[in-house]
Amino acid sequence: MVDDDEVIRQLIALNLRLEGFEVHTAVDGRDCLERVGEVGPDVITLDVMMPRLDGWVTATRLKEDAATRKVRVVLITARAQDADLRRGADIGVDAFVTKPFDPAELISIVKNLAAAR
């Protein structure tokens, strides 16, 4: 679960843990890419707007790397216009969640993606 906002990180992590998920957090895309190999996640929730390395670039690198290509990626963004959805589809993103979001919606998406893996 990757987000530069500590409150959002804690909210998502808590909700996922309550549903029985093992949750690892990262503060931005660079942190995510540095840790993804050791964590081996099934699903990554990824904020789009972050410092150092944004969600777009992080998702692209995850999908281009043979070791992480099959990891499911959920982009969490305040911007989900048609162009953003197309860009995500081109990258291979598995789902979008628009801020502000309902934690139950995010949990449902993560459960479905994890089950499909």
| 10-residue averages of pLDDT along the chain (117 residues) | 94 95 97 96 96 96 96 90 90 93 94 90
Structural domain range at position 54: 6-116
Question: Is 99 a domain residue?
Answer: yes
Q: Which class for 70: exposed (0-12), middle (13-18), buried (19 or more C-beta within 10 A)?
A: exposed
What are the beta bridge partners of residue 76? 47, 97
Question: Is 79 a domain residue?
Answer: yes
Which pLDDT score is estimated for 45?
A: 97
DSSP type of residue 78: S
Domain with 53 in it: what CATH number?
3.40.50.2300
Question: Is 1 a domain residue?
Answer: no
Total domains in the fold of the chain: 1
Amino acid identity, position 2: V
Which pLDDT score is estimated for 100?
A: 87
Which pLDDT score is estimated for 77?
A: 87
Question: Is 28 a domain residue?
Answer: yes
Which pLDDT score is estimated for 36?
A: 97
Buried b (16+ CB within 10 A) or exposed e, 34-60: eebeeeebebbbbbbebeebbbbebbb
* Pairwise CA distance, residues 101 & 84, whole Å: 17
Which pLDDT score is estimated for 24?
A: 97
